[in-house]
Chain A
């Protein structure tokens, strides 16, 4: 459905240029959910925004449904926007506070040229999908009359109403209470299954990603360092960074691993100079080759890729 090939996004120019995303190659099939995890500043949000063409890539190609959408403009870009939708992170400021829910849902339909006569039926159907029922009870309310979980359902409805083929959710539940998160995730999963959408979830929370994504990509300093089926990646991480990331996640059980993390330094340290692996200054297993060669993503087991010289 969507494929990024060597996508790079650099902010600024000349020697001060900062690559937010370097040579990212990822693909998501119809009906599949890909998780992108990493810490603040790893480039996961830039990757998502570029794949939605909210940012134009500095280089590389983006294919959507078999078409090249890397440099779309004007009307063609507008049509792509209807097919590739973003679910906002913060439901408390994603909706116009003065609009009724009905108007918030009608707005994207107007933007994408859906005839007015179809609006009521489309709105009714999407409200059923996000389980805000009966719809009539909700449509004339304004955002301040809804709880965070209810608002996020409206935000999801707004993303679904143009009939997209790709849904990108950037930390879709991080602003919500634990008790209602699962409800939103279940809705997202069901919408994806029933509508056959491709989905990309961006999150710092691997535990959460695991509950919704079959595949996961781990990013570090703008690069994908590991990618594979989520279950396999969590059970047996290949990249030392993935290993540290998994070890760092606390679990809601008394008996758990409390040994020190297999990692040195901090993300705040200056990045090591290129070429070479961007993780080598913190890696417990770095060796001579890591200082000189930037590891490329290579396939290990079927469906798994890792950018690390270990085991190569």
Chain B
């Protein structure tokens, strides 16, 4: 095993080992949450170190760590940061996971050892997805994400959780098994599973195998059947992770695997994927506008936003890709904040349905400010980081056809509509039947979790080029 690149392996192993320790070692239950939070903060620390070490001008694969795993088939444990975008996505993961773990600790989930162990395991798996440089390893981490999510939704979720988990697993597994077949065919043809040395492959079928996994996980219209249930029934912070981070794994897969290994497949299927993304963008926005509850709005807006991201990626020019990566980070943070706010509102009103909500701004200035600030960024008001991301995406995709850019522009208007509708249904209008005067404003602990995320969004609003200049070298 090469010695340098230790930081990548550390970032994968630290949460996994911490998870195992939490499961196995006897520990008073009250310590478990803080311990998990501490690990996730260390994870952020390691990421900052990786960010400092990564040379964005040189780009390419850095902090590479490599060891043979299965020799005769050419499978290796190979991890590293490939291009700037993987650095940003790992950063998004560490930040959102830390926030989610902190939120879980604040909410007080029962069976804490199992819960925090799974959250940490999930962290390690997602970091692994964003850093693996071997297709089989990528697949292993990809599946490893599913296992904790299955239990997190199923054991801590809402009343309809069993149906939600079944849908979620069946949808994603069908996609990922097709990917497994494609991985095997690719690897045995190339003689290695390495993404670094494997070279390109012109087969459309292999591309479609990978694409199947990615379009389901993102999800892209019409493969989003699992999405509303999973996002509604999960615990709020798990929804935040699902929509904020896990969906990005799919976009990352397109960017890292499909673009570099299957350029011919990307070329052949660009138009169908762009069309699906555009349909998803409009369709998701319309459904978000009609959704009867907070989580429905965020869930369908997620579908729309991922459509937008995929539009940017398949624009296949640096403008579109830069914008897409920025938008991935934006959406990750925004939807994490929104889902946790949804959780906060549901905790106070015992429902997320708009018909019983309303008038929560009165007497709750912190809630109103945080929700309004996030909402304004989410609807891509000029000057916000989301505006920067969407603008770059639209400018990029315009070169593939004015039609897509027009669709994107319409979607921005729709985004303003559904975000404002959600804000007014929660904060303004008449006081809802489920809103009691005794319901508290956001507590300091909740603010301590949400404000840093919003601060990052504001920072990116001031300087979006921090990311867009450092996506591809």
* Pair from one complex: no
Q: Measuring CB to CB, which residues of chain B are less than 8 angstroms from any residue of chain A?
A: none
Q: Measuring CB to CB, which residues of chain A are less than 8 angstroms from any residue of chain B?
A: none
